[in-house]
């Protein structure tokens, strides 16, 4: 569902998602703070590469972007042709050990929640100690749901912020930043929680 939906809205998504919102830039800077110049950041569910990959490259690091949407990945390739872009699901992608940071930004919550810990485990396993990852999770306890964007349907599921922090602790990470980007409104908006974690 999500793959076709993102392919269908690629142009609208690219137009809407060009700049950082909230403290996104601060979170990304926190990841880059432990990634040496020239090192590579893994971006799982990278979308068009804007603004995240674009900023990573502007700060002197490289990007390996992974996304299941051919249309969004094509835009990313056009935006940043020097970087590596892989058409794959997050579930199927097997990272090697060449990364010094990772993003799962606004992407993990499109997968069933029972898939989140295994994916986080393979990402954390691939990172060296001291490297950081950033991710968003839903901001409240609720069953999986669907919502619409630009007329298309998308599925969402998430562990709570506390459960997500516990998962990261089990995986040997400590939390550097953990804060709400927006609070749940008790209705359509389930809230969104940002995490920057460091592999201990």
Total binding residues toward ligand SAM, as defined by CB under 6 A: 19
* Binding flag, residue 46, ligand SAM (CB under 6 A): yes
- Least Å distance, CB 98 to ligand SAM, is 19
* Binding flag, residue 52, ligand SAM (CB under 6 A): yes
- Least Å distance, CB 89 to ligand SAM, is 4
Positive or negative: CA dihedral 7, 41, 105, 17: negative
Residue span 93-112 as binding mask against ligand SAM, x where in contact by CB under 6 A, dash where not: ------------xxx--xx-
Q: Which is nearer to ligand SAM, 172 or 180 (CB)?
A: 180
Extract the tokens encoding 90. Answer: 């997050």
Report the residue from 8, 17, 23, 176 that binds ligand SAM according to the rule CB under 6 A. 17
DSSP code string of 24-62: HHHHHHHHHTTS-TT-EEEEET-TT-TTHHHHHHHTT-E
How many Å apart are CA 164 and CA 89, to the nearest integer?
21
Site for ligand SAM in 56-85 (CB under 6 A): 67-69, 72
How many Å apart are CA 27 and CA 73, to the nearest integer?
23
């Amino acid at each position: 569902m999500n793959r076709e939906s993102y392919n269908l809205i690629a142009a609208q998504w690219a137009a809407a998602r060009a700049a950082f919102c909230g403290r996104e830039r601060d979170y990304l800077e926190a990841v880059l703070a432990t990634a040496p110049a020239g090192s590579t950041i893994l971006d799982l569910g990278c979308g068009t590469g804007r603004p995240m990959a674009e900023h990573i490259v502007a700060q002197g690091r490289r990007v390996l972007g992974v996304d299941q949407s051919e249309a969004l990945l094509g835009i990313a390739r056009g935006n940043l042709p020097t970087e590596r872009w892989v058409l794959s699901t997050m579930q199927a992608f097997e990272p090697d050990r060449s990364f010094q940071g990772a993003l799962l930004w606004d992407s993990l919550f499109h997968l069933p929640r029972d898939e989140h810990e295994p994916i986080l485990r393979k990402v954390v396993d691939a990172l060296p100690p001291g490297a950081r990852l950033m991710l968003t999770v839903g901001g409240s306890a609720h069953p999986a749901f669907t919502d619409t964007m630009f007329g298309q349907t998308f599925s969402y599921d998430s562990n709570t912020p506390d459960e997500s922090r516990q998962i990261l602790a089990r995986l040997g990470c400590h939390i550097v930043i953990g804060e709400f980007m927006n609070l749940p409104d008790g209705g359509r908006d389930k809230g969104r929680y940002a995490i920057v974690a460091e592999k201990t």
